[in-house]
Structure 1
Amino acid sequence: MKAIYIASNGSAKDSFEIRDVAIPTISDDEVLIKVSAFGINYADVLCRLGLYPQCPPLPAVIGYDVVGTIESIGKNVKNLNIGDRAMALTTFGGYAEFAVANKGSAVKIDDHAPAGEALALGAQYCTAYYCAEELIRLRKDDHVLIHAAAGGVGIALVQIAKMHGCKIFGTAGSAKKLEFLESIGVDHPINYKESDFEDVIIDIVGKRGLDVVFDSIGGETFRKGYSLLCSGGRIVLFGSAEITGRNKTEQLEFSKDYGSIHPAQLMMASKAIIGVFILTVFQDKPKLATEILQTVFKLYTEGKFKPVVDRSFSFDQIAEAHIYLESRKSIGKVLVEI
């Protein structure tokens, strides 16, 4: 089979190699999927740049979400059959013509479900659901800030917050994205390139503050988000996109930008900081991963989740796909089709 390897850390044009390798074998609890499409996620960009601690040693095949046909199953697999069309979350290995997934991280999907939507449900919506429904409780009229609200996870978080009747603030970096955010129900879209989101929110809410902040940016953005929390407020940190494009010295400064918060300060202010690394969570809690995956797809079939797909690339356009996602021009899911 053909697989895309990160051969070295660096630019998208210089890092990838397409190699011919053996089709992987499976254990009793795994399935082998003939891949028709796989997702491109921001964690992939960080892996390529050498900024993702959990990335396997190079050369490596990354990729966390695939859609395809079940080619073979282990003897303990009961939820899927050979020939089923499925979406699966993989522990790396998704950038290939065949991929392996645990039985609990794969779900049968309709033959007519668009691949991009299915991929978004797997990676982005499962992350959003875990952050917003498993870790915290959103209430009607909560003031919620969602950073990168036009991204895959951001869109999912907006839809979840709307389901709960929250007042939503969302950041994005272009007029096009702000217009999109308005169209999906964000009450206060904020262009972070033109305005300081902290000042904008203070002008709107005053001393009331925010109930929840979802932060995939990190650094100074995290520190400002934390300062905006009201009593009982929670900030959920699930990414550090702002670290990209920085040299070693700047990365150190980025780490300092988070600030220093003592646990006693959290207690006295009645605030909470929650960190999420969804890959580890799903590896350590496979039953939870299965439950969330099934719930997310159920909400999709009920019409409550509506993934947005931005753009598809071909297998040999992997560099272009990374460049596009890294440019932060995308709105919704980016994928590669084989």
Structure 2
Amino acid sequence: MKAVVITTPGDADVLQIQDVDDPQVKDDEVLIKISATALNRADTLQRRGSYPPPKGAPPYLGLECSGIIEAVGKNVQTWKVGDEVCALLGGGGYAEKVAVLSGHVLPVPKGISLQEAAALPEVACTVWSTVFMTSHLSKGENFLVHGGSSGIGTFAIQIAKYYGARVFVTAGSEEKLARCKELGADVAINYKTEDFVARVKEETGGKGVDVILDSMGASYLQRNLDALGLDGRLFLIGFQGGTVTEINLSTIFGKRLTIQAAGLRVRSAENKEQIISDVHKHVWPAFEEGKVKPIIHTSLPLSQAAEAHKIMESSTHIGKILLIV
């Protein structure tokens, strides 16, 4: 099969399509003929050599895909050849085929095209596991997501509104803020011109928000703690703003704050299966009701993976970037 290969760690132009061995399907796996895959920030880190795939995962980029099942392992009961699906991957989405555990596969939601479905697994599983399963965002609470125009952000806005939260976002341009408002954000803050802590306090009568989803890390940590209210929960899913900082512990102590962090890719197979089961139960109905939709910035052929990476690293996109296989 053909796959996008990292010829050597570096900039986007190191990505090239090459012929590689077909994946071998194990007893508990299905083989998916890939229709599309979607970019994630982690792909750019892996390309640069700083985010290696977990043990046993394909060496190729791509943490999610959609496609049609071409073969099933002998222990697989849930799926059959010909099923249209999307899947959460440890790697291997930038290719023509991928083998994946059957428990990491989801049906394409009604009303969503096969290609669009490639944009769903990573964002849905990331947001649901962090914001809802762990941070327990509930109806009527205030929720802040940084990078509201990203793939994660555009989904988080919609699913948080679906479950009755009041949504705050940060983004870096008026165009991005306007799009976030269209998706349901109640308060949109330009982080380049506004202090998000002050705006949060203003909009909440000084109380602060209940849950924050953050991919910045060190550069936002103290400000995130300041923006949280009593019993607030901060979940870190990235470190775009660095990994080392100094904070005032009295902020955590005084407001009984909870700080947690986790990646999705390195979780155990069993943990991912539980998350996917929960997503199917609680998130898929929102897609099928048309209340939550995939936001696609652009779709490019697999041969233009390098160009897709350049778009992602420019941070000019709103929503997800697809590669069509």
Q: Distance in 1 between matches of 2:163 and 2:72?
A: 39
Deviations 1:179-238 (A, max 9, x none): 111112212111112223223323433531221111012221122111221110000111
Partner of 1:246: none
Structure 1 residues 130 and 70, CA, compared in 2 at 3 Å: closer, same or farther? same
Partner of 1:225: 224
The alignment covers a number of residue pairs equal to 323
Q: Distance in 2 between matches of 1:266 and 1:194?
A: 27
Partner of 2:277: 291
1:319 to 306, 315, 324: 306
Deviations 1:234-272 (A, max 9, x none): 001111233xxxxxxxxxxx3323x2566x874553100
Structure 1 residues 198 and 50, CA, compared in 2 at 3 Å: closer, same or farther? farther
Letter in structure 1 aligned against 2:320: K
Shift of 1:150: 1.2
Partner of 1:196: 195
Q: Does 1:274 align with 2:273?
A: no
Contact kept in structure 1, 2:53 and 2:90, CA below 8 Å: no
Q: Does 1:256 align with 2:222?
A: no
Comparing 114-123 with 93-102, greater Cα deviation is found at 114-123
Letter in structure 1 aligned against 2:104: S
Comparing 90-99 with 159-168, greater Cα deviation is found at 159-168
Q: Distance in 2 between matches of 1:231 and 1:327?
A: 36
Shift of 1:110: 6.0
Q: Distance in 2 between matches of 1:157 and 1:193?
A: 21
Shift of 1:130: 1.2
Q: Distance in 2 between matches of 1:192 and 1:290?
A: 33
Deviations 1:296-332 (A, max 9, x none): 3233113332221111011110000001111111111
Contact kept in structure 2, 1:158 and 1:168, CA below 8 Å: yes
Deviations 1:105-148 (A, max 9, x none): 11232697324531222111121111122112223332221101
The 3-state SS of whatever aligns with 1:87 is strand
Letter in structure 1 aligned against 2:29: E
The 3-state SS of whatever aligns with 2:206 is helix
Structure 1 residues 44 and 221, CA, compared in 2 at 3 Å: closer, same or farther? same
Partner of 1:337: 324
Letter in structure 1 aligned against 2:226: S
Any residues of structure 2 matched to 1:144-163 within 5 Å, and which?
144-163=143-162
Partner of 1:93: 92
The 3-state SS of whatever aligns with 2:243 is helix
Structure 1 residues 82 and 39, CA, compared in 2 at 3 Å: closer, same or farther? same
Q: Does 1:9 align with 2:9?
A: yes
Q: Distance in 2 between matches of 1:75 and 1:98?
A: 19
Contact kept in structure 1, 2:54 and 2:265, CA below 8 Å: no
Q: Distance in 1 between matches of 2:108 and 2:128?
A: 19
TM-score, scaled to structure 1: 0.88
Structure 1 residues 135 and 313, CA, compared in 2 at 3 Å: closer, same or farther? same
Contact kept in structure 1, 2:119 and 2:322, CA below 8 Å: no
- Show structure 1 runs of 5+ residues with no match: 243-253
Contact kept in structure 1, 2:146 and 2:215, CA below 8 Å: yes
Q: Distance in 2 between matches of 1:41 and 1:286?
A: 17
Contact kept in structure 2, 1:69 and 1:83, CA below 8 Å: yes
Q: Distance in 2 between matches of 1:211 and 1:323?
A: 35
Partner of 1:309: 296
Contact kept in structure 2, 1:116 and 1:333, CA below 8 Å: no
Q: Greater helix percent: which structure? A: 1
Supply the RMSD in Å over aligned alpha carbons: 2.3
Contact kept in structure 2, 1:68 and 1:86, CA below 8 Å: yes
TM-score, scaled to structure 2: 0.91
Letter in structure 1 aligned against 2:5: Y
Contact kept in structure 2, 1:37 and 1:66, CA below 8 Å: yes
Contact kept in structure 2, 1:80 and 1:108, CA below 8 Å: no
Contact kept in structure 2, 1:238 and 1:276, CA below 8 Å: yes
The 3-state SS of whatever aligns with 1:179 is helix
Shift of 1:174: 1.1
The 3-state SS of whatever aligns with 2:180 is helix
Structure 1 residues 168 and 20, CA, compared in 2 at 3 Å: closer, same or farther? same
Contact kept in structure 2, 1:39 and 1:63, CA below 8 Å: yes
Q: Distance in 2 between matches of 1:317 and 1:113?
A: 24
- Show structure 2 runs of 5+ residues with no match: none
Partner of 1:68: 67
Shift of 1:48: 1.4
